């Protein structure tokens, strides 16, 4: 309440005289605290504050008579309209929040493996990965028998060999590549018939990559799939895939654009020797911008090699062969190098890839 | 040793309790001169007098409320509601007062009453006389709900309920009031409350039930046994507070559970038992818990009664369903 | 053929405290009888005002005021013995205080604490009853126990005017009648059941008339006349105690307050109507009577006022100083011994932060 009126003092008394104010304007009072002393016909009584609050106004002076029900004291806040509690017990909170609900549907989740909790617990106990268990139950439910069957098979096979070192790294990187990259592949052939006999294939391939990068810089880039951003890189650092008995190594030939052929050749020799001797520091297998996989030295023609993020392209060279091709309308035998360019289509267009490959082939086919 | 029916066992227990403790009184409609419409209180008024075996006016709410007042003021009233179908006016007194008198006075006032009512279907009775709504009472905190399934358990559990210092709703399955006789010594020996009774040992599937359905369930166990399936049969007896430990121990062994109750399916007490088995026995389960129950319909009049009530066949099929799950 | 019954209302004092009916009861001049009645009414009112103030300042939950009805409970309780049993609704603080229930206990109850109903004083009295009229059946049970044991005790059950519409009430007075039980049903007719006036509650000419249907004695009394109330209660309880059966005693009064602190009675009744009933205040009336007999004066009034204020403050302090119980106590007294089935829940409550 804002205005406190002189309350009923009992005994049918209708008025009282102000004897003494216990508070002044501006005072803060607590509930039940004496506000004013008044005198009636019968007695001198203290009138307590009905609420806590700050005094804004006193309605009578000492010695004045106030009638029951007339204003006595005004508080600085409050209102005199008794708001409807809207209940007879407790308190039903009212809020101002507005809600606007849109109808929702059940979320589409993935349908996973079907197995009862008991079967799942059994699989855990027997160390069986449910993803490798073929369900034999109705509705593709994995049964207890299924789990036991697989456990038995695995026991016969013995524990798996845990991947280490480069094989482990390869498994992890390829899995990452698989989950992130949108690969597309173009294949073509380069006519290297006119190469000199002692031509260093790898150096020529590196130069071809350089030519491609010059023609289409977007293949020499790092792509960030999370922010959807790419960085076009000035330097061309080519990762060279090296096959060893321990697995795949990918040492990096740095800054090929600013090195001459001899330098490149020496660099490659060093890389290969170091790779075979397991001497390459980890730093030298990181931060490359594009990859070369010369798998043709082992075998194979065309491939769709894996693009490892954050790079966006990998050039694969297959086994050089003599092939019958058309030259000036006539069939003839030429030395042919098959090429496969796999690119991350999130960052590179087909046109860019095509032009890259054309430039690479032009570089390879030049004398 | 006398061979008695279930309702006779009730009568014997009442007489024993009244003979032992002068504070025990019986009240209800037609319980005095008539001895109760099912004769559960036969002979009591002759023996113990009108003041202690009271024919009340026709008012179920009054019967329960009077029992609350009597219990709070030192008597041990055993109120009879003639049929579960007429118990609902008394629900207010049970829920609003009997179940909470002790806690709301912090133990100063207590309510050691027993409210007995015949319940369940199967006697081709007119409308409203075949109810099984034990779940309504089991839901009330502070109440005990006890359901005997044999003469011996009726005697022992009723005595226990009378001795118990808290309110008990004692539901008597009237279909089996007279169907079998059993040796029951009138030795004043009470059976334990809050525990299940294992009626039959088994290893392949656990059958959980109470009341009149124990008969069908035992028959189902027999049928399963002929098919080489060993069923363990558990009589819950005290519906609330539930002895889930016994049930869990059984399910841990068998991995399969069928709950049988006459009451309607949804929100029936089988749902509570199933939920508790899921919470604490999930990894033992080889199949989902089955419930064989009355349907979610109003109990039909007696021409369809037999189709409503769970049959031996339905129980057997449910057991097979758990066995054939995988 | 129509039959009519007449129930006169007993009244000794008019609103000014002047005697309008004689002879007065023999104790009507006895200060030793009158002053305790007066004091307890004054205490009840002071407590009541304080309780409302506490609710308005957020220190008490919903509270049902007894303003204006003090004489009914106090006068009736003054006739009861320690062995009798009181079954109140929620406006009989006067009766409860007379019988030893404390202000702090009542505050604890409305403050949301069950310990408020664990009365240290009257161990057999029933606690405040909220589901309307349901305790009328309890009174039947209590009275039956008393009769069975052949004890010269009585159960005294208070109900309101609204309660007399309820099945429990009819069932209770009916049973009390047919079993001839030592129970008195005091119907506090304060004219209002929340917003429903008595005129909309029943077509019965008076609430006392309902006694006819039950075949029990019926009586009407001016509930704001402390002398009349005490006299009527004396006769009724005496009859009950001595095997002369139950009584339905309709005590007329007026609910000066809102139904509860959450109710706003101005929604359904006028301020003028409420004001008019101020004249019938039971406390004023008894004081004027006592003063006219030279049994009370200003000095005593002031002294009582001071002592009462002090007592109320002391009791409020007891209440406010009582810390909330530990949460696991909600499992205490659920049963005599907590069944194992609920141990885990109790433990979970203890462990929850």
CA B85/CA B83 separation, integer angstroms: 5
Residues in A closer than 8 angstroms to C260, CB to CB, are: 88-89
Tell me how many degrees the CA angle B85-B87-B89 measures, rounded to the nearest 5. 120
- Summarize pLDDT for A322-333 with one digit per residue, the tens: 999 998 999 999
Is C209 part of the annotated catalytic residue set?
A: no
Radius of gyration, CA atoms only, chain C: 21
Cis peptide leading into residue C23 (ω within 30°): yes
Chain C, nearest residue to A42 by Cα:
C298
Strand partners of residue B66: none
**Structure tokens that stand for B183 in this block:** 């040796």
Q: Please judge whether B326 and A145 are an interchain contact, meaning their C-beta atoms are less than 8 angstroms apart.
A: yes
The class that CATH gives domain A2-90 is mainly beta
Contact B297, B325 (CB under 8 A): no
Which residues lie closer than 8 Å to A279 by C-beta, 6 or more apart? A273
* Option in C262, C267, C279 nearest A90 (CB): C262
Q: What is the rounded distance in angstroms from the CA atom of residue A296 to the CA atom of residue A205?
A: 12
Looking up tokens 């590179």 gives: A348
Query: What CA–CA distance (Å, rounded) separates C298 from A270?
Result: 118
Distance (Å) from the C-alpha of residue B241 to the closest C-alpha of chain C? 6
Q: How far apart are CA B260 and CA B319, in angstroms?
A: 11
Predicted local confidence at residue A9, as pLDDT: 65
Å between C70 CA and nearest CA of chain B: 25
What is the DSSP secondary structure assignment for residue B98, as one 8-state letter? I
* Sequence-ordered list of residues with C-beta below 8 angstroms from that of A341, at least 6 positions apart, any chain: A185, A186, A187, A188, A313, A314, A315, A316, A353, A356, A357, A360
Could you give the 3-state DSSP secondary structure of residue B260? strand
What share of chain A in percent tops pLDDT 90?
A: 57
The owner of tokens 């060999």 is A161
Q: Token pair 């209590």 is at which residue?
A: C142
Structure tokens at A278: 């397991």
B107 to C145: CB separation less than 8 angstroms, yes or no: no
Over residues B10-52, the pLDDT tens digits come to: 999 999 999 999 999 999 999 999 999 999 999 999 999 999 9
Q: How far is A134 from chain B (nearest CA, A)?
A: 14
Q: pLDDT tens-digit profile of C75-127?
A: 999 999 999 999 999 999 999 999 999 999 999 999 999 999 999 999 999 99
The C-alpha angle A202, A205, A208, rounded to 5 degrees, equals: 155
Residues in chain A: 367
Is C333 a known active-site residue?
no
Q: Is B12 exposed, middle or buried (0-12, 13-18, 19+ CB in 10 A)?
A: buried
The one catalytic residue in C91, C99, C219, C259 is C259
DSSP string, C3-70: -----PEE-SB-TTS-B-SSSPPGGGG-HHHHHHHHHHHHHHHHHHHHHHHHHHTTSS------TT-H
Identify the active-site residue in C153, C219, C241, C255: C255
CA distance B262 to A171: 60
Q: Residue B286: pLDDT above 70?
A: yes
Domain ranges of chain A: 2-90, 98-162, 166-365
Query: What angle do helix axes C31-56 and C226-241 make, rounded to 10 degrees?
Result: 100
Q: Which of B114, B210, B215, B121 is nearest to B159 (CA)?
A: B114
Q: With contact defined as beta carbons under 8 Å apart, do C219 and C250 qualify? A: yes
Global model pTM greater than 0.90: no
Q: Count of CB atoms within 10 A of residue C287's CB?
A: 24
**B241 with C143: Cβ contact below 8 A:** no
Indicate yes or no: CB of A31 within 8 angstroms of CB of C56: yes
Q: Give the pLDDT confidence score for residue A46 in this predicted structure.
A: 81
Give the pLDDT band of residue A15 (cuts 50, 70, 90): confident
Neighbours of B306 (CB within 10 A): 12
Q: Which of B97, B129, B215, B261 is catalytic?
A: B129
CA angle C89/B111/B23 to nearest 5° reads: 115
B223 contact partners, CB below 8 Å, separation of at least 6: B312, B316
The CA R_g of chain A, rounded to the nearest whole Å, is 44
Name the H helices within B35-176: 44-48, 60-72, 88-92, 101-104, 134-138, 151-163
Asked whether the predicted pLDDT for residue B229 surpasses 90, the reply is: yes
Q: Is A109 on the interface with B (CB under 8 A)?
A: no
3-state secondary structure of B6: helix
What is the per-residue pLDDT across A344-361, written as a single tens digit (0 to 9) for each?
Answer: 999 999 999 999 999 999
User: Residue A74 and residue A5: Cα distance in Å, rounded?
Assistant: 9
CA distance A268 to A240: 9
List of chain A residues whose C-beta atoms are within 8 Å of the C-beta of residue C259: 88
Q: In angstroms, rounded to a whole number, what is the distance separating the alpha carbons of residues A233 and B157?
A: 87
Q: What is the three-state SS of A218-272?
A: HHCEEEECCCCEEEECCCCCEEECEEECCEEECCEECCHHHCCHHHHHHHHHHHH
Domain boundaries, chain B: 3-183, 197-323
| C51 CB neighbour count, 10 Å cutoff | 26
Output the pLDDT for position A118.
85
Residue A151 has pLDDT above 70, yes or no: yes
CB of B191 within 8 Å of a chain C CB? The answer is: no
Asked if A31 contacts A50 with a C-beta cutoff of 8 angstroms, the reply is yes
Read out DSSP for A100-122? --------------B--HHHHHH
C255-277 burial code (b ≥16 CB/10 A, e <16): bbbbbbbbbbbeeeeeeeebeeb
Average pLDDT value for residue range A196-225: 95
Architecture of domain B197-323: 3-Layer(aba) Sandwich (3.40)
Size of interface A-C (CB pairs under 8 A): 44
pLDDT of residue B233: 97
ipTM entry: 0.93
Residue B30 CB: number of other CB atoms within 10 A?
16
- Are A10 and C284 within 8 A, CB to CB? yes
The CATH fold of domain A166-365? Chloramphenicol Acetyltransferase (3.30.559)
Tell me the pLDDT tens digit for each residue of A73-103: 988 876 655 667 778 888 788 888 888 888 8
Distance from CA of A119 to the nearest CA of B (A): 8
In 3D, which of A247, A246, A266 has the Cα closest to residue A256?
A: A266
Token pair belonging to B84: 């579960």
Distance from CA of B70 to the nearest CA of C (A): 4
Catalytic residue among C56, C115, C268, C278: C268
Do B3-183 and B197-323 have matching folds? yes
Q: Are A116 and B286 in contact (CB < 8 Å)?
A: yes
**Alpha-helical regions (H) of B82-150:** 88-92, 101-104, 134-138
Q: Do A89 and C62 touch (CB under 8 A)?
A: yes
Q: What are the start-end ranges of the H helices in A55-200?
A: 117-126, 144-157, 165-180
Chain B residues with a Cβ under 8 Å from any Cβ in chain A:
255, 282-286, 326
Put simply, the answer to whether A118 touches B326 (Cβ < 8 Å) is: no
Tokens read off for B309: 């009530």
Find out whether C304 and C42 touch, Cβ atoms under 8 Å: yes
Q: How far apart are the first and last CA of chain B?
A: 49
- Residues of chain C with Cβ-Cβ distance to A52 below 8 Å are 57
At the topology level of CATH, where does A98-162 sit?
Dihydrolipoamide Transferase (4.10.320)
Q: Please state, as a whole number, how many other Cβ atoms lie within 10 Å of the Cβ of residue A360.
A: 27
The tally of CA atoms less than 13 A away on the side-chain side of residue C295 is: 20
Instruction: State which fold the B3-183 domain adopts.
Output: Rossmann fold (3.40.50)
Q: Taking CB atoms and an 8 Å limit, are B108 and C136 in contact across chains? A: no
pLDDT at A183: 97
Is C266 within 8 Å of chain A by CB?
yes
Show residues of chain C in contact with A5, CB under 8 Å.
none
User: Under an 8 A CB cutoff, do B326 and A121 touch?
Assistant: no
The beta-carbon neighbor of B59 closest among C147, C171, C333 is: C171
Half-sphere exposure of C1 (CA within 13 A, CB side): 1
d(CA B267, CA B253): 27
Chain A residue with minimum CA distance to C130: A89
B143–C contact, CB cutoff 8 A: no
For residue C100, the model assigns a pLDDT of 98
**Residue given tokens 């020529």 in the structure block:** A204
Distance of CA A48 to the CA centre of its chain: 64
Best residue of A8, A84, A89, A90 to probe chain C, by most C CBs closer than 10 Å: A89
Asked if C62 has any chain A CB less than 8 Å from its own CB, the reply is yes
A contacts of C195 (beta carbons < 8 Å): none
DSSP C287-327: HHHHHHTTS--HHHHHHHHHHHHHHHHHHHHHHHTSPPPPG
The rounded distance, in Å, linking the Cα atoms of C126 and C108 is 16
Predicted confidence (pLDDT) at residue A42 exceeds the cutoff of 80: no
- Residues of chain C short of pLDDT 70, as ranges, are none
Nearest to B114 by CA among B163, B66, B167: B167
The residues that bridge with C155 in the sheet, in sequence order, are: C85, C183
Say if the Cβ atoms of A84 and C298 lie within 8 Å. Answer: no
Rg from Cα positions in chain B = 19
User: Percentage helix, strand, coil, to 5, in chain C?
Assistant: 50, 10, 40
Q: B255, A117: Cβ pair inside 8 Å?
A: no
Distance from CA of A90 to the nearest CA of C (A): 5
**Six token digits for residue C154:** 């009585």
CB B164 within 8 Å of CB B17: no
Domains for chain C: give ranges and CATH numbers.
9-322 (3.40.50.970), 327-353 (no CATH)
């Amino acid at each position: 309440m804002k205005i406190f009126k002189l309350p009923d003092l009992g005994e049918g008394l209708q008025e009282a005289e102000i004897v003494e104010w216990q508070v002044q304007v501006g005072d803060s009072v607590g509930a039940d605290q004496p506000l004013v002393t008044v005198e009636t016909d019968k007695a001198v009584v203290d009138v307590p504050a009905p609420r806590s609050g700050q005094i804004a106004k006193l309605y009578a002076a000492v010695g004045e008579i106030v009638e029951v029900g007339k204003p006595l004291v005004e508080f600085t806040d409050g209102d005199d309209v008794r708001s409807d509690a809207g209940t007879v017990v407790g308190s039903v909170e009212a809020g101002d929040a507005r809600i606007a609900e849109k109808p929702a549907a059940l979320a589409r989740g993935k349908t996973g493996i079907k197995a009862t909790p008991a079967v799942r617990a059994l699989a855990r106990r027997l160390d069986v990965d449910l993803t490798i268990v073929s369900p034999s139950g109705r509705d593709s439910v994995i049964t207890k028998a299924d789990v036991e069957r697989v456990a038995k098979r695995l026991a016969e096979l013995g524990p798996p060999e845990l991947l280490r070192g480069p094989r482990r790294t390869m498994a992890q990187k390829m899995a990452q590549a698989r989950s992130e990259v949108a690969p597309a592949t173009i294949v073509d052939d380069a006519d290297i018939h006119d190469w000199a006999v002692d031509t260093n294939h790898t150096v020529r391939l590196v130069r071809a990559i350089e030519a491609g990068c010059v023609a289409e810089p977007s293949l020499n880039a790092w792509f960030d799939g999370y922010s959807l951003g790419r960085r076009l890189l000035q330097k061309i650092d080519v990762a060279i895939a090296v096959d060893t008995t321990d697995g795949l190594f990918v040492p990096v030939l740095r800054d090929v654009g600013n090195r001459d052929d001899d330098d490149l050749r020496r660099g490659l020799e060093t890389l290969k020797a170091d790779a075979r001797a397991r001497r390459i520091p980890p730093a030298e297998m990181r931060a490359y911008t594009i990859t070369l996989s010369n798998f043709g030295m082992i075998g194979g023609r065309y491939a769709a090699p894996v693009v490892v993020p954050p790079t966006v392209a990998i050039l694969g060279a297959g086994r050089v062969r003599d092939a019958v091709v058309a030259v000036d309308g006539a069939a003839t035998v030429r030395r042919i190098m098959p090429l496969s360019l796999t690119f991350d289509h999130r960052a590179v267009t087909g046109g860019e890839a095509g032009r890259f490959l054309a430039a690479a082939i032009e570089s390879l086919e030049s004398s | 040793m006398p061979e008695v029916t279930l309702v006779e066992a009730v009568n014997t227990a009442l007489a024993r309790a009244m003979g032992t403790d002068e504070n025990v009184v019986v009240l209800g409609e037609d319980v005095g001169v008539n001895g109760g419409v099912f004769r559960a209180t036969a002979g009591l008024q002759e023996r113990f007098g009108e003041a202690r075996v009271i024919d009340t006016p026709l008012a179920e709410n009054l019967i329960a409320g009077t029992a609350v007042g009597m219990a709070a003021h030192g008597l041990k009233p055993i109120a009879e509601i003639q049929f579960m179908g007429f118990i609902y006016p008394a629900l207010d007194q049970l829920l609003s007062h009997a179940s909470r008198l002790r806690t709301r006075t912090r133990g100063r006032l207590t309510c050691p009453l027993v409210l007995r009512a015949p319940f369940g279907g199967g006697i081709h009775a007119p409308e409203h006389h075949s109810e099984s709504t034990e779940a309504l009472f089991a839901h009330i905190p502070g109440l005990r709900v006890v359901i005997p399934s044999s003469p011996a358990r009726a005697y022992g559990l009723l005595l226990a309920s009378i001795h118990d210092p808290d309110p008990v709703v004692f539901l008597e399955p009237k279909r089996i009031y007279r169907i079998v006789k059993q040796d029951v010594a009138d030795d004043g020996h009470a059976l334990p409350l809050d525990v299940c009774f294992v009626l039959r040992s088994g290893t392949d599937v656990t059958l959980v039930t109470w009341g009149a359905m124990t008969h069908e369930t035992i028959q189902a166990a027999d049928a399963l046994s002929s098919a080489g399936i060993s069923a363990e049969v558990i009589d819950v007896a005290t519906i609330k507070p539930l002895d889930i430990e016994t049930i869990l121990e059984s399910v841990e062994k068998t991995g399969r559970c069928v709950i049988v109750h006459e009451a309607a399916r949804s929100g029936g007490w089988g749902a509570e038992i199933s939920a508790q088995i899921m919470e604490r026995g999930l990894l033992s389960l080889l199949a989902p818990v089955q419930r064989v129950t009355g349907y979610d319909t109003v109990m039909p009049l007696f021409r369809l009664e037999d189709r409503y009530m769970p049959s031996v066949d339905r129980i057997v099929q449910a057991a097979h369903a758990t066995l054939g799950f995988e | 053929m129509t039959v009519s019954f007449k129930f006169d209302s007993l009244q000794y004092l008019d609103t000014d405290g002047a005697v309008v009916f004689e002879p007065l009861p023999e104790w009507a001049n006895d200060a030793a009888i009158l002053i305790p009645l007066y004091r307890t009414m004054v205490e009840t009112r002071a407590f009541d005002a304080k309780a409302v103030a506490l609710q308005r300042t957020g220190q008490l939950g919903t509270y049902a005021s007894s303003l204006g009805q003090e004489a009914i409970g106090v006068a009736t309780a003054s006739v009861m013995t320690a062995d009798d049993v009181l079954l109140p609704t929620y406006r009989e603080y006067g009766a409860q205080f007379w019988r030893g229930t404390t202000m702090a206990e009542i505050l604890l109850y409305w403050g949301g604490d069950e310990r408020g109903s664990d009365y240290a004083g009257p161990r057999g009295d029933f606690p405040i009853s909220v589901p309307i009229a349901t305790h009328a059946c309890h009174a039947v049970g209590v009275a039956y126990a008393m009769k069975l044991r052949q004890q010269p005790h009585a159960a005294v059950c208070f109900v309101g005017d609204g309660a007399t519409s309820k099945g429990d009430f009819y069932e209770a007075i009916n049973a009390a009648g047919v079993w001839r039980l030592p129970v008195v049903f005091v119907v506090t007719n304060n004219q209002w059941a929340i917003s429903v006036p008595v005129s909309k509650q029943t077509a019965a000419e008076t609430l006392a008339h309902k006694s006819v249907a039950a075949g029990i004695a019926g009586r009407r009394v001016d509930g704001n006349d402390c002398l009349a109330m005490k006299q009527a209660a004396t006769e009724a309880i005496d009859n009950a105690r001595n095997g002369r059966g139950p009584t339905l005693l309709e005590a007329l009064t007026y609910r000066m307050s809102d139904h509860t602190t959450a109710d706003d009675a101005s929604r359904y009744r006028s301020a003028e109507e409420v004001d008019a009933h101020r004249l019938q205040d039971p406390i004023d009336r008894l004081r004027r009577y006592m003063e006219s007999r030279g049994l009370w004066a200003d000095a005593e009034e002031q002294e009582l006022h001071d002592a009462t204020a002090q007592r109320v403050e002391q009791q409020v302090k007891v209440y406010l100083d009582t810390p909330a119980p530990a949460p696991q106590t909600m499992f205490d007294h659920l049963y005599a011994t907590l069944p194992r089935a609920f141990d885990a829940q109790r433990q979970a409550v203890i462990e929850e932060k």
